Amino acid sequence: MKPTIALTKGRLEKQFIAFLESIDFDVVPLVNKGRKLRVETDTLQFIFAKGPDVTTYVEHGIADLGIVGGDILAEFQPDVYNLFPLPFGHCRMAVATEQGQVWSNQKKKIASKYTGITKEFFKDKGESVDIIKLEGSVELAPILGLADAIVDIVETGTTLKENGLVIKEEFFSFSARCIANRSSLKIKRAELTPIIDRFQKQGENV
């Protein structure tokens, strides 16, 4: 059976396909996949999923390798090998508030999809906060009065600016990561090592 790579859909997917092309992998089936969630090339099989699901597929051995953002690994802490960073998917984690908001000393409400990361960040600062979990469009929370601030990933900052928010503090920089199933690295070492080595070597050369 061909080695299987679980790939995060969306932005990381496009960046990873460009990365594969740069090291002479066959990417035509990936570019022309349409709505397919599982695609095979001459040498590999790919499955496409949301970031948290990528780690689940890798952890349970459905996929041998995975390409996922470092934010997902920090938030969910899956039982996988976190092999190395890749030269794309660079983002920051940041606290953002409404423009001109006074940051009071009262207990704050923080909205985020990343509740684990948020909890640890404020715990390390010695601050007690109420964390409100949201799955999307967290920028709305301060605007509508649900929260005093948000914790979210930032790439360019455009979305924050367009919604009247400003970054108060950045505290975590990350990139895409290559992860592996623990058993696969032992059982399929001969098949996976050349792939891993090519990924790592190209990443170091960029």
Q: Above 90 in pLDDT, residue 195? A: yes
Rounded Cα gap, residues 54 and 69, in angstroms:
10
Q: Alpha helix locations (H) across 77-181?
A: 115-124, 140-143, 158-162
Residues 56-84: what's their mean pLDDT? 96
- Determine the number of helices (DSSP H) and then strands (DSSP E) in the chain: 9, 11
Q: What is the DSSP letter of 67?
A: E
CA distance 121 to 170: 11
pTM: 0.89
Quote the pLDDT of residue 71: 94
Percent of the chain with pLDDT over 70: 98
Position 53 scores a pLDDT of 97
Task: Please determine, for residue 206, whether its predicted confidence score (pLDDT) is greater than 70.
Answer: no
Query: What percent of the chain is predicted at pLDDT more than 90?
Result: 78
Burial of 67 (0-12, 13-18, 19+ CB in 10 A): buried
Per-residue model confidence as pLDDT tens digits over 29-54: 999 888 999 999 988 999 999 999 99
CA distance 171 to 119: 13
Beta carbons within 8 Å of 184's beta carbon, 6+ residues apart: 3, 61, 64, 65, 192
Q: What is the pLDDT of residue 151?
A: 96
Q: What is the per-residue pLDDT for 201?
A: 85
Q: pLDDT tens across 136-192, in order?
A: 889 999 999 999 999 999 987 788 888 889 999 999 999 999 999 999 999 999 999
Q: What is the pLDDT of residue 204?
A: 67
